[in-house]
Amino acid sequence: MLALFIKAYLVQPYIVDGQSMEPTLHNSDRLIVDKLPHTIARINNHAYIPKRGDIIIFNQDNLPGYTGSKQLVKRVIGLPGDKVVVNNGFIAIYNKANQKGFNPDKTVGYKITAPYTGGDVNITLGTNQLFVCGDNRGNSEDSRYFGPIDSSQVVGKLSLRVWPIGHAEHF
């Protein structure tokens, strides 16, 4: 019972499947997902909104080749109320604090495999919506393809990479 409680509300193991988060995460990396902030938000009847740049695990339905829901790992690029524009190979975020826009790939402090971000997106995120992308933009099915996700789809935030042991890291 204790193990079920811990997995349901506190932490969850996760295995990376694919190359969409390279160079940050690699195929078969073993991760620990922190579910506590999401659990606390639900207890307080609030949406869990991670920070821009956080890596999250979320449930996504209707992916090509999958029946039902699949858990994915991606980086939060856009937050509720942001206008997200993907054009000419770059992402730009527009909001009240940045009316002229900014490129999160250059300002938030994470690494992507290539500076080019394909796609043609122009969307304003609604309440509780997030725009997520893989760090390997050329090999990632993300919000550029399936649209924004709702905060209710979020399982938790990446906390630790525990395997391979030589690359263990706290996020």
- Catalytic residue numbers, as ranges: 20, 74
- Cβ atoms of 14 and 171 within 8 Å: the answer is no
CA 155 to chain CA mean position, Å: 10
Residue 60 Cα distances to 29, 65, 67, angstroms:
20, 13, 11
Which among 119, 167, 170 has a CA at the least distance from the CA of 143? 119
